[in-house]
């Protein structure tokens, strides 16, 4: 059997393509460890893939060329990191209190909260995500659900545009849950679309408390548009696959991390692994 370290460049690049197809982005350090080669070798492989137009290089790694991280089509994203999103959702719902006014960002990570919200009462929830709004209205009739108006993006099934800020100005949110395409210490939470970055920043400006919901597969890379610095959130809620070295790096930067429970997609929300800032 051929060891990873003895693979030829073409074979290594085939494995890199497989990881990119699976996750949408890769970290050079992770690939070097997996393939038992140096980071310099991985960078050379990624540069070769960039030359052929297959990837775009980003700080610390690469992403699929021509696409956002994760894939922009919601129908694709619903099948990605499903268990991680469920774990994140459990923790996120545990942060809510009766009577809260809440904002749920667009995307499948925040949408994973819906099943856990179904049994709650006396919450007012605003969202710009069409699927989330419809599912909440169906599964959680005792909650007040407000769909934020705007131009509908057919790929994400969410609203964007200049109508949103005028509506958001009527609210102060007890808790805001934001999603992101990528997150990286020193850079922050980022997205590949300027319109979405503007919406997210507008919501954060109206938040008493804010939480970034993002799975570990998006860690260590960045997209062009910054949403917010990581330490600016009350906490970043992620899954248990985040490496301990990454957790230590984030803690050193003053980022509060909350880890979702592994392998309990149907259980109730649990206490965080790290203490959150006081509400």
Per-domain boundaries in the chain: 4-64, 74-259
Q: What is the CATH number of domain 74-259?
A: 3.40.50.1360
23 Cβ contact list (under 8 Å, min separation 6): 70, 80, 217
The pLDDT tens digits of the residues spanning 18-44 come to 888 777 778 898 899 999 999 999 999
The pLDDT value recorded for residue 272 is: 36
Structure-token match 């062009």, residue found: 224
Report the predicted TM-score, pTM, of the whole model to 2 decimal places. 0.73
- Give the C-alpha separation, 207 to 95, whole Å: 14
- Kindly report, residue by residue over 154-209, the tens digit of the pLDDT: 888 999 888 888 898 899 999 999 999 999 999 999 998 888 999 999 999 999 99
Q: Which two tokens stand for residue 75?
A: 């129908």
Residue 259 neighbours by CB distance under 10 Å: 21
Give me the CATH topology for the region 4-64: Arc Repressor Mutant, subunit A (1.10.10)
Token couple for 216: 């570990």
């Amino acid at each position: 059997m051929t060891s990873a370290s003895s693979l030829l460049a073409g074979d290594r690049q085939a494995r890199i393509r497989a990881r990119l197809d699976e996750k949408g982005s890769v970290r050079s350090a992770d690939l070097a460890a997996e393939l038992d080669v140096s980071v310099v070798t991985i960078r050379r492989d990624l540069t070769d893939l960039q030359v052929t137009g297959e990837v775009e290089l980003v700080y610390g790694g690469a992403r699929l060329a021509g696409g956002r991280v994760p894939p922009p089509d919601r129908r694709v994203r619903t099948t990605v990191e499903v268990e991680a999103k469920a774990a994140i959702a459990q923790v996120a719902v545990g942060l809510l209190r009766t009577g809260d006014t809440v904002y749920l960002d667009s995307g499948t990570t925040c949408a994973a909260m819906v099943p856990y919200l179904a049994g709650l009462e006396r919450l007012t929830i605003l969202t710009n995500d069409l699927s989330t709004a419809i599912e909440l209205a169906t599964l959680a009739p005792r909650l007040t659900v407000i769909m934020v108006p705007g131009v509908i993006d057919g790929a994400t099934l969410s609203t964007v545009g200049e109508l949103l800020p005028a509506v958001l100005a009527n609210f102060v949110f007890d808790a805001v849950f934001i999603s992101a395409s990528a997150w990286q210490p020193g850079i922050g939470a980022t997205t590949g679309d300027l319109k979405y970055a503007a919406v997210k920043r507008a919501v954060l400006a109206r938040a008493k408390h804010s939480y970034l919901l993002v799975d570990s597969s998006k860690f260590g890379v960045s997209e062009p548009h910054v949403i917010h610095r990581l330490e600016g959130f009350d906490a970043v809620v992620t899954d248990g696959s985040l490496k301990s070295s990454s957790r230590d790096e984030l803690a050193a930067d003053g980022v509060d991390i909350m880890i979702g429970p592994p392998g309990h997609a149907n259980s109730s929300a649990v206490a965080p692994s790290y203490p959150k800032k006081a509400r």
